Amino acid sequence: MFADRAKIILQSGKGGNGHISFRREKYVPNGGPDGGDGGKGGDIVFLVDEGMNTLSEYRFRRKFAAQNGEEGRKKNCSGRDGEDLILKVPEGTVIKDAASGKVIADMSGENQRQIILKGGRGGLGNQHFATATMQAPKYAKPGQESLEIEVLLELKVIADVGLVGFPNVGKSTLLSRVTNARPKIANYHFTTLSPNLGVVDLDGGKGFVMADIPGLIEGASEGVGLGHEFLRHIERTKVMIHMVDAASTEGRDPIADIYAINQELKAYNPDLLEKPQVIAANKIDAIYGEDNDVITKLREEFASKGVDVFPISAVSGKGLKELLYHVSSLLEGMEDQPIVYEQEFDPSLTILKEEPYTIERADDAAYVVEGPKIDKMLGYTNIESEKGFLFFQKFLKEQGILKELEERGIQDGDTVRMYGHEFDYYK
């Protein structure tokens, strides 16, 4: 099965913690702090790989994590940075936030490499906190936390022209006739199970990329048939060719088919109907006699809408030259740049991995505050020292904990308890 969608979890690397240590050398009785900084966590980077054409590598693995930065070491040695995680995807892959559906990155055009999640900064070692009055600081800064997000990968084929139409109208036959593509062709519905691309080369004209978009039937926008899986591939095309069976070999009405397909396009994305359309009335070699009422009716129906009708035979090649040169002329008036979606969401600017804290009243009326970040900070901070206590108090303020304590009615002199540490609150 053609893999053009995948939902995965990304996690950048955590920054390494700063180190606490002091010089201990012979003949150096008063060695100062020499704790090194933690290393930076690895980034999550997406890279376009021209050799890939599906997202199959992401179908059976859910989580991808970059390497954490190492903790700092003594003698002012910094920890090693975590390695970036490079994720390769085919060109045309759109990366979206799974929760909101907003675009994080579109790996198309000039955007061949992009950092999606940045690794956490390394924490500062205790060497940075020495002052004239505090020459032996016993605390260091923890590394910045990693970021985690669930993303949706969607491969949207990059093609100038999209072939749309009901199954078995000859789209694959046309593509194989006018391009170098070799799609599977057979006389039954849903022969094509993945978008096929080919390059159309015209003598003296401008070549273009054509894609056969499979699976469009009534109800496609609601997931009927294969349409729900492949409608997204039409979004990048600049011109659409509606293929219909002019000979009605299966008893279908070509005019009704065009309206049905347009309705599905509108239900999926109304902007799709703004794209130029051309009608290719196929299988004219199967129309008997000189009376060609189908072509006449098609032209009468769609001429007022600015849609040209070209009678063709994908098997014999009749009418193909006129169709292709007309499509080429439509493309000449358009920008020669692929349609690239703008970024709507930057996960690095959002706190994606929150570590909540709790505030409860104990039986002795003390305020008990707990949480992973608080526990971690206490492990790296000497709150017995004045400098360390001020450092920790600043942390509580930045996290909004002091504000919440005040909102809960804490008064001067009340006791605050955190993981075995107690202190009296004073504003």
pLDDT in tens, 75-113: 889 999 999 999 999 888 899 998 888 889 989 888 899
Q: What are 235-291's pLDDT values in tens digits?
A: 878 899 999 888 877 777 889 888 988 888 888 888 888 889 999 998 887 766 544
| Higher pLDDT pick, 97 / 225 | 97
Q: What is the pLDDT of residue 80?
A: 94
Q: Please give the Cα distance from 187 to 225 (Å, whole number).
A: 17
With a cut of 50, say whether residue 351 has pLDDT above it.
no
The CB density around residue 39, as the number of other CB atoms within 10 Å, is 28
Q: What is the pLDDT of residue 208?
A: 82
With a cut of 60, say whether residue 130 has pLDDT above it.
yes
With a cut of 70, say whether residue 350 has pLDDT above it.
no
Helix (H) or strand (E) holding 368: strand 367-370
Helix (H) or strand (E) holding 93: strand 93-97
| Higher pLDDT pick, 239 / 222 | 239
Q: Which two tokens stand for residue 4?
A: 């053009």
Q: Name 212's bridge partners.
A: 163, 196
Q: What is the pLDDT of residue 67?
A: 96
73, 33 Cβ separation under 8 angstroms: no
Q: Please give the Cα distance from 321 to 202 (Å, whole number).
A: 9
240, 161 Cβ separation under 8 angstroms: yes
Q: What is the pLDDT of residue 84?
A: 96
Q: What is the pLDDT of residue 189?
A: 39
Contact residues for 178 (Cβ-Cβ < 8 A; gap 6+): 198, 200, 210, 320, 324
Q: Please give the Cα distance from 374 to 396 (Å, whole number).
A: 8
Least confident of 4-8, 381-385, 406-410: 381-385
Contact residues for 166 (Cβ-Cβ < 8 A; gap 6+): 216, 217, 244, 245, 252, 257, 260, 261
Helix (H) or strand (E) holding 374: helix 372-379
Report the pLDDT averaged over residues 57-72: 91
Q: Please give the Cα distance from 323 to 178 (Å, whole number).
A: 11
In three-state secondary structure terms, 367 is strand
From residue 112, give the alpha-carbon distance in Å to each of 48, 200, 237. Answer: 5, 25, 20
| Higher pLDDT pick, 10 / 394 | 10
From residue 219, give the alpha-carbon distance in Å to each of 192, 260, 265, 332. Answer: 18, 9, 10, 34
Q: What is the pLDDT of residue 229?
A: 57
Question: What value does the mean pLDDT of the chain take?
Answer: 80
Contact residues for 379 (Cβ-Cβ < 8 A; gap 6+): none
Q: Please give the Cα distance from 235 to 419 (Å, whole number).
A: 55
Residues across the chain: 427
Q: What percent of the chain has pLDDT over 90?
A: 18
Q: What is the pLDDT of residue 191?
A: 40
Q: What is the pLDDT of residue 382?
A: 63
Q: What are 387-424's pLDDT values in tens digits?
A: 667 777 788 888 888 888 888 888 888 888 887 778 88
Q: Please give the Cα distance from 48 to 86 (Å, whole number).
A: 10
**What stretches of 130-238 adopt beta strand conformation (E)?**
148-155, 161-164, 196-200, 208-212
Q: Which two tokens stand for residue 316?
A: 């014999």
165, 257 Cβ separation under 8 angstroms: yes
pTM surpassing 0.75?
A: no
> Would you give the end-to-end CA distance of the chain in angstroms?
64
168, 283 Cβ separation under 8 angstroms: no
Catalogue the long-range contacts made by 203-206 (C-beta closer than 8 Å, 24 or more residues apart).
205/324, 205/325, 205/328, 206/328, 206/331, 206/332
| Higher pLDDT pick, 214 / 332 | 332
Least confident of 16-25, 49-58, 120-129, 200-209: 200-209
Q: Which two tokens stand for residue 342?
A: 């703008």
13, 143 Cβ separation under 8 angstroms: no
| Higher pLDDT pick, 375 / 100 | 100
Q: How confident is the model at residue 358 (pLDDT cuts 50, 70, 90)?
A: confident
